[in-house]
A = this chain, B = another copy of it.
Amino acid sequence: MSEIPSDGLRVVPLGGLGEIGRNMMVFETTDDIVVVDAGILFPSEEMHGIDYIIPDVTYLLERRDKLRAYLITHGHEDHIGALPHLLRDLPAPVYASRLAQGLIGLKLRNNKVRGIEQVEVTPQTVAEFGSITAEFFPVAHSIPDAMGIALRTPAGLVVHTGDFKIDHTPVMSVPTDLNRMALYGEEGVRLLLSDSTYADTPGNTPSELAVGEALEHVMLTAPGRVIIATFASQIARVQQIVDGAETAGRTVFPTGRSMVQNVKMARDLNYIQSNAGVIRDINQHEKFPDEDVVIVCTGGQGEPMSALARMSMGDHRDVRIKQGDTVVMSSNPIPGNESAVYRTIDNLFRVGADVRYSQGGASNVHVRGHAAQEELKTVLGLVKPEHFIPVHGEHRHLSAHVRLAEAMGVAPERAHLLRDGAVFELTPRGGVVVDEAPASYVFVDGMSVGDVDHTVLRDRQHLANDGIVVVVVTVDHETGAVIADPDVVSRGFTGLDESPDLRKRTAEALHKMLERDRHPVETSALQEIVKDEISRFLYRETRQRPMVLPVVVEV
């Protein structure tokens, strides 16, 4: 890769451009690197058995001596979730707001990562990293203390919005600092990177204020217990629930491991404030009359192991859903999670609950945390960037955001639709992609990180769709002659179980084939032959293509 000019800045997205998740942006000068965010991506349905996905950091490993810091915009999983994995190999100080540091700290402890310097930042923080200076500024998002970051670099001023919306009445946080953006705009911004999550949605995102009113209304009017599901990291939402509960004379019982942990941490840090006794341990909730109870839990995305999913299936340790319960889904399904979410809602109805969820604007029990088109245009108008890179979105969101930028006066050749791995170089002469960095998905599956590859996933997909047929052939290890009846076993494939006749004929076909190819062959060649012939035979008979796994035993 070519050298970086002394007046240049490289901008390398290692995640988040082409997906909602694993956000990670590298800013690199001749001598220094700072990284903005290090998140995880949740798997899509065809990634069987995968827990989550983290960025490929080969690019950073090759430049580890230049790494000065991780700058974190806020404490959501898709921005901090990969830190425990990355900090082991690529240690550096982590700069983040107090709440984000609280969440990161929990994560590092849970993963036994030690010795990392955690630096707390405020909207006044200015931090120097050699040739790069970072200034943090507040933005409104669905978590308190979210930040945008301005970077002063040899190539000029760069503004990264982080995740934001323009909310003039946010909860537990200050509004997005439009003045700061305007000042940067007046100073002259060479490059803006801006949140694209809802760049295809017209209009404005409603204020969090509306959610507080909607939740309070439910708590005032519900006949029995109220159970509210949201993300464990939605600390502001929990505060709204606590406020509503106080008005409605209810007590709040958090449940779900991450919810309990986060609420405790947020109270310790004074983020969540409540009157004495308003928040209590879930195992006490049965001592209170139903109409005085609010349970706040995880599971708003239908996650199968979450507190809410367990309640819907009747196997939660502390809470059994009953007639008269009102469940509130205070979150919208993330694309891809809809079926799981609706399955949970249906199950809750089935066990007797009334469920409130946001359908066709039926209620304000949740609002989005990201800016829609008019807000994005406001930011583009204030910052007046020379160059523009849309971040945080699937390809369609990035495309929509590029169109908005062009409509707002950014020259088409300066609105850069990048993909993960693009090595973009900004100099006084312009901005251009100069190279490509590795940016493939790194799959985390249980204790295994990076071992699962596309072959494994393809195999799992094949197994899922068609099942497997194992064919065991026993041969004499000296002569190569077949010395026992072949054995045929299947799982997840119906043909053989349903038709004993087919099983017999498969064995016969195998037998005939082995008779025909009498000459001794190498084990690997024999495996290939068995696999091909049996696959073909089964497709002819059933029109299905199970995975055929040949095993040759030599005795």
Interface residues of A (CB under 8 A from B): 18, 44-45, 48-49, 198, 200-203, 335-336, 338-339, 342-343, 345-347, 349-350, 354-355, 357, 359-362, 372, 394-396, 399, 445-448, 451-452, 456, 459-461, 463-468, 470, 472, 474, 483-484, 487, 489, 491-495, 497-498, 542-544, 547, 549, 551, 553-555
Contact = CB atoms under 8 A, between A and B. Distances in A.
Contact of A464 (B357, B396, B460, B474): B460
Contact of A463 (B345, B350, B464): B464
A452 B447 CA distance: 33
Nearest to A499: B451
A346 B394 contact: yes
A296 B497 CA distance: 43
B467 A464 contact: no
Contacts of A484: 553-555
A395 B346 contact: yes
A487 B445 contact: no
A interface secondary structure, majority: mixed
A495 B452 CA distance: 9
A331 to B, nearest CB: 15
A339 B47 CA distance: 12
Given A45-B339, A460-B464, A463-B467, 5 more contacts: A338-B338, A347-B395, A468-B491, A484-B553, A489-B549
Given A466-B49, A484-B555, A339 B342 contact: no
A459 B469 CA distance: 13
Contact of A346 (B372, B396, B472): B396
Contacts of A335: 338-339, 342
Contact of A345 (B396, B491, B542): B396
Contacts of A394: 342, 346
B494 A456 contact: yes
A292 B492 CA distance: 50
Contacts of A447: 542-544
A487 B477 CA distance: 14
Contacts of A494: 445, 448, 451-452, 456
A311 to B, nearest CB: 16
11 contacts: A48-B464, A201-B362, A335-B342, A350-B395, A446-B544, A447-B544, A468-B468, A474-B474, A483-B555, A491-B547, A551-B551
Contacts of A346: 18, 394-396
What number of copies of this chain does the assembly contain? 2
A553 B492 contact: no
A349 B456 contact: no
User: Lowest 4 CB-CB distances: which A-B pairs, in order?
Assistant: A464-B464, A463-B463, A201-B360, A48-B464
Task: With a 10 A CB-CB cut-off, give which of A359, A464, A487 has the most chain B CB atoms.
Answer: A464
A464 B49 contact: yes
B551 A470 contact: yes
B372 A339 contact: no
Given A494-B448, A544-B446, A549 B203 contact: no
A345 B345 CA distance: 28
B553 A474 contact: yes
A351 to B, nearest CB: 10
A411 to B, nearest CB: 19
A359 B201 contact: yes
Task: With a 10 A CB-CB cut-off, give which of A349, A459, A498, A553 has the most chain B CB atoms.
Answer: A553
B45 A451 contact: no
Contacts of A465: 48-49, 460
B355 A492 contact: no
Given A49-B465, A49-B467, A360 B342 contact: no
